[in-house]
Amino acid sequence: DPFFFFTNMKSILSSLFALSLLSLSSAHAQCHFPAIFNFGDSNSDTGGLSAAFGQAGPPHGSSFFGSPAGRYCDGRLVIDFIAESLGLPYLSAFLDSVGSNFSHGANFATAGSPIRALNSTLRQSGFSPFSLDVQFVQFSNFHNRSQTVRSRGGVYTTMLPEADSFSQALYTFDIGQNDLTAAYFANKTVEQIGTTDVPEIISQFKNAVTYIYAQGGRYFWIHNTGPIGCLAYVIEWFPLKASDFDSHGCVSPLNHLAQQFNDALKQAVIELRASLSEAAITYVDVYSAKHELFVHAQGHGFKRSLVACCGHGGKYNYNKNIGCGKKVTVRGKEIYIGKPCDEPDKAVIWDGVHFTQAANKFIFDKIAAGLRMACHRQ
């Protein structure tokens, strides 16, 4: 009976399809991470630079925390949304000894951190001395000492991670932007940076991941760098020619430099996957999400893209000498001149350097699906 045959075949095929979906979902079950260890710069700093060199003052934190929270943002960063989505508390900065709980990981990022160590102080250059190699040393010390201290029992067992958290944790990276801008600010050409600096920067990044793998890290979540040519603090640094700008107001050569770095980083991830056989390494394209925001801001509900929400003066509401939150004293009276805009949730850029909470949420939403798969090697 042909009808019987086709009905049976349909039933068999449906069963096989269901089984294949089941095997796919079991092979790629949703990941669970008991902890996050983060390495990076201001894009993911939850209080490191503030603890080391003085607090990021108001109006930072005003949209969510209600007061400064160590973040160069009006609210949450992408790393905060990652922690939320994994059901974990916000990460305490490793450098912050006051009120920190490290039971679910630690944040080694500080604002201004590069991958390569820079031969200058924070005061001289504005870049952090806590480069990626220093962050690794801090992590290594934390890894060893946290277990020694945890063995004392009592309150330490609730404040420090369990031993197996280190092999089960997600290791997140968002770093590299400062290496590119530091070289640019040092008057190197885009071509020089791309051909001489980028390979060395990427080599040092690979070393850091390899060292963490040697300490038991297995799950790596690596952000590429964003379109630096769309950020006011970079645009305002040098006089640029009209031909340097694209149709969206961003500096094309600098965005091409970021893409060159990202191509090298992506290749590095491929090489790391080959050499670290037990690692699951996810390359996360935040460049595309950030660029989309600059190019189609209004289509995503934003009113301003390149112009900073918090700052003072100029085409981009940005002045490096009058930063977000800056106050001056006139005739004994304090006047707030680095003021925030009325609708931070409608701005892409917070202070000419960093993204707003609303933009960070948009970026996170674009990459969130990958977190469910970040523990799988395929």
Tally Cβ neighbours within 10 Å of residue 20.
10
Let me know: does 74 contact 310? Beta carbons within 8 Å.
yes
Name the 3-class secondary structure at 361: helix
> Any idea how long the chain is?
378
**Catalytic residue among 60, 143, 312, 354, which?**
354
User: 42, 44, 62, 92: which one is catalytic?
Assistant: 42
Question: Exposed/middle/buried for 191, CB within 10 Å: 0-12, 13-18, 19+?
Answer: exposed
Cα dihedral angle (42, 48, 53, 56), rounded to 10 degrees? 60
- Amino acid identity for residue 45 in this structure: D
Active site residue 246: no
Whether residue 226 contacts residue 259, with contact meaning beta carbons closer than 8 Å, is answered with no
Question: Is 333 in a helix, a strand, or coil?
Answer: strand
Question: Rounded distance, CA 219 to CA 377, Å?
Answer: 9
1 is catalytic: no
Secondary structure (DSSP) of 285-307: -HHHHHHHHHHSTGGGT-SBSSS
Q: Residue 180, SS3?
A: helix
367: helix, coil or strand?
Answer: helix
CA-to-CA separations, 7 to 16, 18, 20, 176, in angstroms, rounded: 14, 17, 20, 58
248, exposed or middle or buried, with CB in 10 Å at 0-12, 13-18, 19+? middle
Spell out the residues 6+ positions from residue 359 whose beta carbon is closer than 8 angstroms to its own. Answer: 290, 293, 302, 347, 348, 349, 350
Peptide bond into 59 cis (omega under 30): yes
| Rounded Cα–Cα distance for residues 108 and 234 (Å) | 25
- Coil, helix or strand at residue 212: helix
Q: Which of 133, 256, 351, 376 is catalytic?
A: 351
Residue 42 known to be catalytic: yes
Annotated catalytic residues are 42, 351, 354
